[in-house]
Amino acid sequence: MTFPNPQDVREATAARQGSGPAISPAASPVVVEARKLSLVYPTADKPVTALSEVDLTIARGDFVSLIGPSGCGKTTLLRVIADLERPTSGHIAIEGMTPEQARLKRLYGYVFQAPALYPWRTVERNVMLPLEIMGLPKAERRQRAREQLERVGLSGFERKFPWQLSGGMQQRVSIARALALQPDLLLMDEPFGALDEITRDHLNLHLTQLWRATGKTCVFVTHSIAEAVFLSTRIVVMSPRPGRILDVIDCDSLPRERTLDIRESPEFAAIAHRVREGLKEGHSYDD
- Contact region for another protein (CB under 8 A) — 59-67, 107-115, 142-150, 248-256? 107-115
Amino acid identity at 150: E
- Residue 182 engages another protein in binding (rule: CB under 8 A): no
For the bound state, the minimum distance from the C-beta of residue 60 to another protein, rounded and expressed in Å, comes to 20
Question: For another protein, which is the closer residue by CB, 41 or 118?
Answer: 118
- Residue 12 engages another protein in binding (rule: CB under 8 A): no
For the bound state, the minimum distance from the C-beta of residue 119 to another protein, rounded and expressed in Å, comes to 4
- Return the C-alpha torsion angle 92, 40, 116, 228, nearest 10: 70
- Contact region for another protein (CB under 8 A) — 26-34, 129-137, 165-173, 277-285? 129-137
For the bound state, the minimum distance from the C-beta of residue 121 to another protein, rounded and expressed in Å, comes to 8
- Residue 119 engages another protein in binding (rule: CB under 8 A): yes
Per-residue x/- mask for another protein, residues 58 to 87, rule CB under 8 A? ------------------------xxx---
Q: Which of 8, 24, 91, 134 binds another protein (CB under 8 A)?
A: 134
- Residue 195 engages another protein in binding (rule: CB under 8 A): no
Question: For another protein, which is the closer residue by CB, 189 or 227?
Answer: 189
- Residue 194 engages another protein in binding (rule: CB under 8 A): no
Question: For another protein, which is the closer residue by CB, 30 or 116?
Answer: 116
Report 198-237 residues binding another protein (CB under 8 A): none
What whole-number distance in Å separates Cα of residue 15 and Cα of residue 39? 41
Question: For another protein, which is the closer residue by CB, 29 or 137?
Answer: 137
Cα dihedral sign, 207-212-215-217: positive
Residue in 18, 28, 99 with CA at minimum distance from that of residue 59: 28
Phi then psi dihedrals of residue 223, to 5 deg? -120, 20
- Contact region for another protein (CB under 8 A) — 117-125, 244-252, 255-263, 272-280? 117-125
For the bound state, the minimum distance from the C-beta of residue 191 to another protein, rounded and expressed in Å, comes to 12
- Residue 164 engages another protein in binding (rule: CB under 8 A): yes
- Residue 167 engages another protein in binding (rule: CB under 8 A): no
* Helix (H), strand (E), coil (C) string for the chain: CCCCCHHHHHHHHHHHHCCCCCCCHHHCCEEEEEEEEEEEECCCCCCEEEEEEEEEEEECCCEEEEECCCCCCHHHHHHHHCCCCCCCEEEEEECCECHHHHHHCCCEEEECCCCCCCCCCCHHHHHHHHHHHHCCCHHHHHHHHHHHHHHCCCCCCCCCCHHHCCHHHHHHHHHHHHHHCCCCEEEEECCCCCCCHHHHHHHHHHHHHHHHHHCCEEEEEECCHHHHHHHCCEEEEEECCCCEEEEEEECCCCCCCCCHHHHHCHHHHHHHHHHHHHHHHHHHCCC
- Residue 113 engages another protein in binding (rule: CB under 8 A): yes
Question: For another protein, which is the closer residue by CB, 130 or 242?
Answer: 130
Q: Applying CB under 8 A, which residues contact another protein?
A: 82-84, 103-106, 108-110, 112-114, 116, 118-120, 129-130, 132-134, 161, 163-164, 181
